[in-house]
């Protein structure tokens, strides 16, 4: 049955109120998905068993509603590395949202920095402080010491966890892997952790560009292998986080990020042509058209871009993900419903994965997260 049953006590299901969801268009969808108005909503059993809704949506198939999933944000877990490097814990934590909300995507519990140890870049994630790189890289010699990543040797727990997740989720949702983009990974290892002004990586970029390019190339080769490894072990789509690419001006993005993203996408498409790749960059409004040039299948928008505008700027061939402000989940249920409907209407029918514009903020009322999924899963185009 519908996801709503898994978290219990919802007595009646309200239909979306937005004018774009006319009863006619809602019920004109494939008969087997027809909702029983006034009763419970039937899950699209056939489609979900055959192939997750999320994959259908990305490919532009005629879907009944946008798939929906959310990413949690930092802060809940002490000893992050311990939790993220143990197969049982990865699986258990990854499945928590799945068990409660039945999202259409289940993201691996891990971090973009997880591969660093295997590349000879020791790090930790310290509670209250975030990532700490023990020996930040500055010189050509430092970059020479960076080893190419061999996922099956360095992070076998990721592959094992993905394989188990894929079995557990059993195509009722898409299992999502992820990697950090070369520039964003470089920003952590050069800055030594999170940064405000990105002055160290910019100093490197603008005074010794060759050194930075050598590092970016190493991350590019390694992340290409990592995406393939994740796909080979069960990931059905992989999201690339270039969280800090927007710290670069467009001309610098074209030199220090775009070519590497494109290289990753081209190489992965050669071996895994059907694997959807999703690209996220925070605050990407100034770079949207350039993000599309990477060749990814989906661009994930944050909430600083109007969805209709983002859709227009990206063009019809690319799918969009997002982009409700995570802060909206602190509003009333009616407000959350309105914003979801507004986003879905602006994204238009198909090629949209409904999501927040970033992870769920710590302190968000869980009942509002539940409400988000409830409303989302009740939408019918």
Q: At 175, which helix (H) or strand (E)? A: strand 174-180
CB-based contact 278:38 (threshold 8 Å): no
| Nearest distance, CB of residue 369 and ligand CP3, angstroms | 12
Nearer to ligand CP3, 127 or 210 (CB): 127
| Nearest distance, CB of residue 117 and ligand CP3, angstroms | 14
Q: Which positions touch ligand CP3 (CB under 6 A)?
A: 71-72, 74-77, 80, 107, 109, 111-113, 125, 127, 130-131, 178, 194, 241, 243, 282, 359
Nearer to ligand CP3, 16 or 159 (CB): 159
Nearer to ligand CP3, 243 or 263 (CB): 243
Encode 256-295 in three state secondary structure: HCHHHHHHHHHHHHHHCCCCCEEEECCCHHHHHHHHHCCC
> Token pair of 355, please?
């999501």
- Rounded to whole angstroms, the Cα distance separating 248 from 183 reads 10
Nearer to ligand CP3, 95 or 214 (CB): 95
- Coil vs helix vs strand at 132: strand
Nearer to ligand CP3, 113 or 275 (CB): 113
| Nearest distance, CB of residue 292 and ligand CP3, angstroms | 19
| Nearest distance, CB of residue 174 and ligand CP3, angstroms | 14
CB-based contact 224:266 (threshold 8 Å): no
- Rounded to whole angstroms, the Cα distance separating 262 from 296 reads 8
- Rounded to whole angstroms, the Cα distance separating 333 from 371 reads 7
Nearer to ligand CP3, 44 or 357 (CB): 357
- Rounded to whole angstroms, the Cα distance separating 95 from 156 reads 19
| Nearest distance, CB of residue 146 and ligand CP3, angstroms | 18
| Nearest distance, CB of residue 178 and ligand CP3, angstroms | 5
Contacts of 225 (CB under 8 A, 6+ apart): 148, 149, 150, 151
| Nearest distance, CB of residue 125 and ligand CP3, angstroms | 5
Nearer to ligand CP3, 47 or 277 (CB): 277
261 HSE (CA, 13 A, CB side)? 31
């Amino acid at each position: 049955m519908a996801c709503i049953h898994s978290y219990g006590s919802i007595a009646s299901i309200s239909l979306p109120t937005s004018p774009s969801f006319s009863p006619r268009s809602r019920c004109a969808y494939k008969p087997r998905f027809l909702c029983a108005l006034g009763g419970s909503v039937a899950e699209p059993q056939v489609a979900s068993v055959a192939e997750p809704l999320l994959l259908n949506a990305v490919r532009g198939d005629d879907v009944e509603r946008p798939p929906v999933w959310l990413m949690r944000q930092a802060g809940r877990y002490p000893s992050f590395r311990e939790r993220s490097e143990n197969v049982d814990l990865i699986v258990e934590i990854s499945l928590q949202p799945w068990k409660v909300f039945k999202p259409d995507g289940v993201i691996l519990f891990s971090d973009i920095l997880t591969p660093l140890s295997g590349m000879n870049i020791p790090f930790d994630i310290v509670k209250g402080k975030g990532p700490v790189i023990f020996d930040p890289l500055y010189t050509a010699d430092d970059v020479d010491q960076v080893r190419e990543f061999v996922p099956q040797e360095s992070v076998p727990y990721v592959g094992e966890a993905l394989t188990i997740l894929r079995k557990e989720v059993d195509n009722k949702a898409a299992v999502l892997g992820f990697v950090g983009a070369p520039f964003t990974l470089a920003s952590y290892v050069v800055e030594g952790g999170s940064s405000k002004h990105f002055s160290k990586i910019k100093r490197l970029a603008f005074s010794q560009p060759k050194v930075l390019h050598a590092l970016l190339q190493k991350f590019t080769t390694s992340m290409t292998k990592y995406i393939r490894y994740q796909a080979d072990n069960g990931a059905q789509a992989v999201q690339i986080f270039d969280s800090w690419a927007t710290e670069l001006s467009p001309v610098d993005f074209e030199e220090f990020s775009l070519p590497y993203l494109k290289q990753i996408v081209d190489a992965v498409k050669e071996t895994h042509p059907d694997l959807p790749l999703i690209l996220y960059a925070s605050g990407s409004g100034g770079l949207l058209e350039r993000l599309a040039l990477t060749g990814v299948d989906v661009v994930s928008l944050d909430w600083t871009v109007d969805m209709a505008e983002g859709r227009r700027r990206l063009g019809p061939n690319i799918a969009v993900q997002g982009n409700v402000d995570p802060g909206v989940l602190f509003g009333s249920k009616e407000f959350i419903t309105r914003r979801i409907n507004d986003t879905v209407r602006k994204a238009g029918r198909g090629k949209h994965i409904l999501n927040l514009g970033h992870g769920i903020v710590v302190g968000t009322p869980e009942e509002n997260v539940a409400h988000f999924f409830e409303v989302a899963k009740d939408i019918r185009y």
